[in-house]
Amino acid sequence: MEINFERKAYRELLKWKQESKGTSAILVEGARRVGKTTLIKKFSKKEYRTAIYIDFNKASKDTKKLFDDLSDLNYIFLQLQLRFHTDLYPRESCIVFDEIQKCPRAREAIKYLVEDGRYDYIESGSLVSIRKNVEGITIPSEEDSLALNPLDYEEFRWALGDKTSIPLLRESFAKQKGLGDETNRQLIRDLRLYLLVGGMPQAVLAYLKTNNFKEVDSAKRKIIRLYIKDFHKMDPSGRAEALFLATPGELAKNASRFQINPVLSGQRRETIDPIIGDMENSKVVRLAYHANDPSVGMSLSKDSSHYKMFLSDTGLFVTLCFWDKRYTENIIYEKILADALPANLGYVYENLVAQILETGGDFLFYYTFSKAGTSKLREIDFLLSRGAKIVPLEVKSSDYKSHISLDEFSEKFSSRIGQKYVIYSKDFRKERDICYLPFYDVLFLSEGQNQKDGNTH
């Protein structure tokens, strides 16, 4: 069975092609195994008369050397056509540079290739490796970027042959109407399937082919092992791997931040920060930063030393939770699917919400505080910026009727707050100034936020 899932990023590539008209290249970024190569091959084959695909992991030394001398572009194009047995047609052909980090000179050449204007150029590769291999290289300004994430929940439903549910849920969300308890229970069960399988194409394919969670778990474990190997290349000391493997445990502690010392004792922040930065750039993990002064410009008060770490794919996160086992038994998956596992999985749902929000275009911020006169720490799980207001989200896997943190936060910052949300597993409802959203409705909170209001990490 071929991996050929429908991806929203295809539309973004098409928009780039139509609007750019050859004035810029595009770099498709994302963690390994999210489907970058599959997407690019599909797009270049369907949207162009011809395409040349160069995988710099496999390209010969002579092919790489073509980009050392850009004085004669006609010679380069002639050689590419001869070597790849493909004719190139001005404004009708595309050249793909896959694994671009393996040939920094080819990336530098983008500036001049785009300036030449004859063909379109699509790049992809490991962001960490790209950044580490650019010393002495001029980074092209004639380059747009496109983030490719694991399949989001809507794309996952498409893969299962369901194109009906999400539009109906979107309409219901817009009208702020509940769907009834029985319908909601089924919808939450459907979402838990996504939580377990995740959005990595290989894991989704394993589910579609076998309907067997053991096979799904095996596919996810192969991806995790690949990431661990990448982290070892990034940091041979093993610290990146240790931090990665500790992610579920740190979230389960419900602490106010990711605590380095229990994982790597005696390490100074200045030695760990670059490793954390590389892990974040790999797109394998996502960081939620503490906003010291919650306001519309949360990036202005971001505390770079105070963060929580999530995985970019909740399906991988679930498998990492049981990494001490050689494989995760079907019974565990089945109990989670039926919401019958005797364990608090609040941190798993928190990772799911983080994934949905950032995939939808929001940066991740949270806030902790103590009420005056007490030492009890309160926390708002996520903060969004909407217009001139901030939108607090409290994630609840149980006991949804209690939302003390949200109430006290609202009292503390009343003039800054827009809509308030409790994210939970029950049906949509609204009580006074709080909206109670089922987990699947989080998908619609971030729609249209792809520009991220100019914030940067």
pLDDT of residue 399: 65
Amino acid 453 reads D
pLDDT of residue 66: 97
**Torsion of Cα atoms, 409 then 414 then 416 then 422, to 10°:** 50
Characterise 85 by phi-psi region: left (phi > 0), alpha (psi -120 to 50), beta (else). Answer: left
- The token pair at 338 is 């039926």
pLDDT of residue 456: 35
- Stronger pLDDT, 315 or 128, i.e. the higher one: 315
* Mean pLDDT lowest among 2-16, 60-74, 230-244, 441-455: 441-455
- The token pair at 432 is 């006074």
- The token pair at 141 is 């300004």
What residue ranges do the domains of the chain occupy? Answer: 8-147, 153-454
Q: Is the model's pLDDT at 455 over the cut of 50?
A: no
Q: Phi then psi for 389, rounded to 5 degrees?
A: -125, 165
* Residue 103 near residue 59, CB atoms below 8 Å: yes
Q: Is the model's pLDDT at 139 over the cut of 90?
A: no
Q: Is the model's pLDDT at 457 over the cut of 50?
A: no
Confidence of residue 136 (pLDDT cuts 50, 70, 90): low
pLDDT of residue 452: 44
* Residue 348 near residue 425, CB atoms below 8 Å: no
* Mean pLDDT lowest among 71-75, 141-145, 179-183: 141-145
For 156-215, the DSSP string reads HHHHTT--SHHHHHHHHHHHT----HHHHHHHHHHHHHHHHH-S-HHHHHHHHHH--HHH
pLDDT of residue 454: 37
Q: Is the model's pLDDT at 10 over the cut of 80?
A: yes
- CA-wise closest residue to 417 among 381, 442, 380, 392: 392
Cα–Cα distances in angstroms (integers) from residue 194 to residues 157, 208, 274, 326, in the given order: 9, 12, 32, 22
Going through 279-358 in order, the beta strands assigned E by DSSP cover: 285-291, 302-311
> What is the rounded distance in angstroms from the CA atom of residue 263 to the CA atom of residue 250?
9
pLDDT of residue 451: 42
pLDDT of residue 134: 53
> What is the rounded distance in angstroms from the CA atom of residue 424 to the CA atom of residue 394?
9
Q: Is the model's pLDDT at 344 over the cut of 90?
A: no
pLDDT of residue 261: 85
Amino acid 81 reads Q
> What is the rounded distance in angstroms from the CA atom of residue 286 to the CA atom of residue 364?
8
Per 3-state DSSP, what percentage of the chain is helix, strand, and coil (rounded to 5)? 45, 20, 35
What stretch of H or E contains 51?
Answer: strand 50-55
**Mean of the pLDDT values across residues 190-218?**
96
**Mean of the pLDDT values across residues 198-221?**
96
pLDDT of residue 450: 47
> What is the rounded distance in angstroms from the CA atom of residue 287 to the CA atom of residue 28?
21
> What is the rounded distance in angstroms from the CA atom of residue 367 to the CA atom of residue 293?
8
**Mean of the pLDDT values across residues 96-103?**
93
- The token pair at 4 is 């050929």
If DSSP codes are grouped into helix, strand and coil, which group holds residue 351? helix
What stretch of H or E contains 347?
Answer: helix 346-359
- CA-wise closest residue to 450 among 382, 363, 381: 363
Neighbours of 155 (CB within 10 A): 22
Q: What angle, rounded to 10 degrees, do the helices at 73-84 and 104-116 form?
A: 110
Instruction: Please determine, looking at this structure, whether the domain spanning 8-147 carries the CATH number 3.40.50.720.
Output: no
pLDDT of residue 439: 96
Going through 57-118 in order, the beta strands assigned E by DSSP cover: 93-98
If DSSP codes are grouped into helix, strand and coil, which group holds residue 86? coil
For 15-44, the DSSP string reads HHHHHHTTS-EEEEE--TTSSHHHHHHHHH
Q: Is the model's pLDDT at 31 over the cut of 80?
A: yes
Bridging pattern class, strands 120-124 and 302-311:
unpaired
pLDDT of residue 420: 96
Mean pLDDT of the chain: 91
Dump pLDDT digits (tens) for 398-433: 767 789 999 999 999 999 999 999 999 999 999 989
The answer to whether the Cα torsion of 94, 53, 140, 39 is positive or negative is: positive
**Mean of the pLDDT values across residues 290-313?**
93
Confidence of residue 171 (pLDDT cuts 50, 70, 90): very high
- The length of the chain in residues reads 457
pLDDT of residue 324: 84
What stretch of H or E contains 389?
Answer: strand 389-395
* Mean pLDDT lowest among 211-215, 313-317, 334-338: 334-338
Confidence of residue 268 (pLDDT cuts 50, 70, 90): confident
Dump pLDDT digits (tens) for 348-379: 999 999 999 999 999 999 999 987 777 788 99
Dump pLDDT digits (tens) for 50-77: 999 999 999 999 999 999 999 999 999 9
Question: What is the reported pTM?
Answer: 0.92
